[in-house]
Chains A and B, each alone.
Chain A
Amino acid sequence: MYGHVLIVEDNALVSSAMRILLEATGHTVTEAATTEQALAVFDNPDNPPDVALLDLTLPDGDGLTILTRLQELGRAPRICVAVTGHDDPEVRSRCLAAGCHDVLLKPVPARELARLVTAWMNPDDGGGHSDTIA
């Protein structure tokens, strides 16, 4: 199933690689480089993202604050996933406690990311989980 993915990532090299991958897979992609830009995407009620991929270290704060804020506003996407460079159990449990569906370790293998995002778009399959990561 295809849907709308929000990539929150402050490094354009990384987000553009993910955009190419997910668009080629068939999804619509929006990019945001800061927490402020990410929150602004949810202001438009016509096309809210189904899945958000959150980098944790953003120039204006922690990526998890986006999820917390969206939960307060009742606008959180169905699936939020943290994408981090730190293979650290503390980071992982912090993300899961904040309500992330999964925690992926960068660089997520391309085929695996495409498979997971497509699985998450299907509300009936319970949402796939990464099997190799963090």
Chain B
Amino acid sequence: MNHPQADQHMSLDHVAALEARVSEYGRELALLRERQSLDTRFLANISHDLRTPLTAIITHAEIMRDEILGPVSPRQRDSLTGIINSGRQLLEMVGEILTHARAAAHQIAVDRVEFSLEELLESLVDLNQSLIDRKGHTLEVDIQPRLPRVFADRDKVGHILSNLLGNAVQFTPDNGRIWIIVRTTTGELGQFLLVEVGDNGIGVAPEHHELIFQEFAQVDASTSRQHHGTGLGLSIARRFVELHHGRIWLESAPGAGSRFYFTLPVHGEGP
């Protein structure tokens, strides 16, 4: 870029050339946006279509495993259970891609109701308890007494929490420590909840803190092979937090565990 003083002598030809380039970039940008919207629609369609045969596979395997058509041997039952569990895992991943595609296409609306975050957390902990026990983790939940009820989309907040808790359970080496802390705090825009989901696991290097919230990102390819995943969970969580006018971030370093934070306006108002 030239120094501004040098531009004083810029000829009209230069200006015209620059204008032509600007409009060319504008056209390219429009094309890229169109292409991105096609990609998103393709993702939404393909995930929807993948669900159908998967549904049939799982149902057929369950019909056999549950001996609805007649007895099966214990080894056959184990094998059928393998088909069912794999199918359900795949279905979950396809569902995640569909949610991502719909969020990217701005097809996701926020359906606010008043609810207790404490009760939502209790049910999530119940859901995850057997996996937490199996991995030998301890989980501490510390919720500020008399926490106000929030006005937010219960399913989406559940999705955010379940993603953060699920990651902590999954990525923390066995016998780890996981905690959830919920506090209220007051900012310029009113009262909001500050939720922390932390673990004493392997941690994330600072240069990856932004990356892990991006689509399809998994910092370490070997980790993604070890732990199934689409790499969309945190990207969806961030979208859902932002739909509520909240913020999500990570404090972590390698070997020092991870602390994910997000904020949620109590009354559902945004900036």
Contact = CB atoms under 8 A, between A and B. Distances in A.
Contacts, number: 56
Interface residues of A, number: 21
Interface stretch (B52-60, B233-241, B252-260): B52-60
B56 A13 contact: yes
A90 B66 CA distance: 32
Interface residues of B, number: 20
A107 B68 contact: no
Interface string B41-79: 000000010011111101110110010110000000000
A61 interface: no
B109 interface: yes
Chain A interface mostly helix, strand, loop or mixed? helix
A109 B63 CA distance: 9
Nearest to A93: B111
Given A11-B52, A17-B63, A20-B63, A114 B68 contact: yes
Interface in A85-130: 85, 87, 89-90, 106-111, 114
A107 B59 contact: yes
B39 interface: no
B16 to A, nearest CB: 52
A92 B77 CA distance: 34
Contacts of B62: 107, 109-111
Contacts of A85: 48, 51-52, 55
A1 interface: no
A103 to B, nearest CB: 14
B52 A110 contact: no
Contact of B56 (A11, A25, A89): A11
Contacts of B60: 17, 20
Contacts of A87: 95
Contacts of B155: 89
Chain B interface mostly helix, strand, loop or mixed? helix
A40 to B, nearest CB: 24
Contacts of A108: 59
A14 B59 contact: yes
B91 interface: yes
Nearest to A25: B68
B63 A110 contact: yes
A8 to B, nearest CB: 15
A60 B12 CA distance: 61
Contacts of B111: 89-90
A18 interface: yes
Nearest to A106: B55
Residue from B58, B95, B155 whose CB has the most chain A CB atoms within 10 Å: B58
A17 B56 contact: yes
Contact of B52 (A14, A18, A21, A114): A14
Given A85-B48, A109-B62, A20 B69 contact: yes
Interface in B57-114: 58-60, 62-63, 66, 68-69, 91, 95, 109, 111
B55 A107 contact: yes
A21 B61 CA distance: 11
Closest 6 CB pairs of A and B: A110-B62, A13-B56, A17-B59, A107-B55, A107-B58, A111-B66
Interface of B: 48, 51-56, 58-60, 62-63, 66, 68-69, 91, 95, 109, 111, 155
